[in-house]
Structure 1
């Protein structure tokens, strides 16, 4: 090499330039960085997947509890209905002077039944909402799991690319990693 803007290549310099441009070590460094990024993103996606699965389970449990409470209210409603029917039967068989007392019971049972029915229907609705929320969380969990799987496969492809020194496998690694990130974004936005 010389000064004044004039540059002469020796055979050794030429080989070093060629090696820098086509060096598998450069590929190894790139794949190491890509793998580290994919592993980090995959760990975040995995955490989110676990969190959404746990949340789905909690919501499903809450739905079951509300369903049980609603079933208890419907049993209570049925009990009041049975008492009302017996009071109506007793009223119809009772002497005239006792019918008013039975009618008062019938009216009370009717009022109580309406209150119980409203409470039972509200609990049924709440149970349904919790079930729907659980299903939405499970859908999101599946998206996180798909994203994590795509990233894990991408990391495996990076290892294969490194071992085989195939540049097209590096591009496949990036493509599959991009797909995993896209699925993760869909999970984030509940799509």
Structure 2
């Protein structure tokens, strides 16, 4: 009789321990799901920022090209007008041509650099490169968050499998993947270009 009672007690303790273990794994799944949601949101934000900065850089480069064309047109017109100065012209006409050449030269210079408005070629190129740098940083962060999300998803699957199978090594592997996901997420936030995993 006492053996049957002991067997019943051990079975009860094992069932209670299994139930407690499942509760811990359930809590781990909930934490992993929350981390997955955070990584997904951060990745989406980084992706949107990368797209916006890519458009911004493209706009700056288009503006840069337009300024280059205008500057080249002004300089070409000035060079053509200089040829007319070599002809035998009245002084008043020569003065008018020289005045126009000076205006074109000044305009061409303004197209090349205009610090006041930040819309000269040099300033536009600098702004485009700055937008590209932010784009590349955000794109690298996006890739890191994608890797972190994958780690969290696999960790959730393994933790769920632990509940079904009772095979605890899967829970340890799930926890390790969760820690890896957190580490990758932190890299995406603090130093996304550190590992160069984005493929760009």
The TM-score with structure 1 as length reference comes to: 0.88
- Residue-pair matches, total: 180
Moved over 6 A (4+): none
Counterpart check, 1:111 vs 2:106: yes
Contact 1:46 1:145 survives alignment (8 Å): yes
Query: CA separation in 2, counterparts of 1:58 and 1:14?
Result: 63
Shift of 1:19: 3.7
Shift of 1:32: 1.1
Query: CA separation in 2, counterparts of 1:63 and 1:51?
Result: 18
Matching residue of 1:158: 159
Contact 1:143 1:183 survives alignment (8 Å): yes
Query: CA separation in 2, counterparts of 1:180 and 1:169?
Result: 16
State the structure with more CA Rg: 1
Query: CA separation in 1, counterparts of 2:15 and 2:156?
Result: 26
Query: CA separation in 2, counterparts of 1:42 and 1:161?
Result: 19
Cα-to-partner distance string for 1:110-129 (whole Å, 9 max, x where unaligned): 11111111111111111111
Query: CA separation in 2, counterparts of 1:108 and 1:18?
Result: 93
Matching residue of 1:17: 13
Matching residue of 1:181: 182
Shift of 1:18: 4.1
RMSD: 1.5
Cα-to-partner distance string for 1:71-107 (whole Å, 9 max, x where unaligned): 1111110110111011101111242523222222222
Matching residue of 1:88: 82
The TM-score with structure 2 as length reference comes to: 0.84
Counterpart check, 1:142 vs 2:136: no
Shift of 1:108: 1.8
| Correspondence 1:23-102 to 2 at 5 A | 23=18, 25-97=19-91, 98-102=93-97
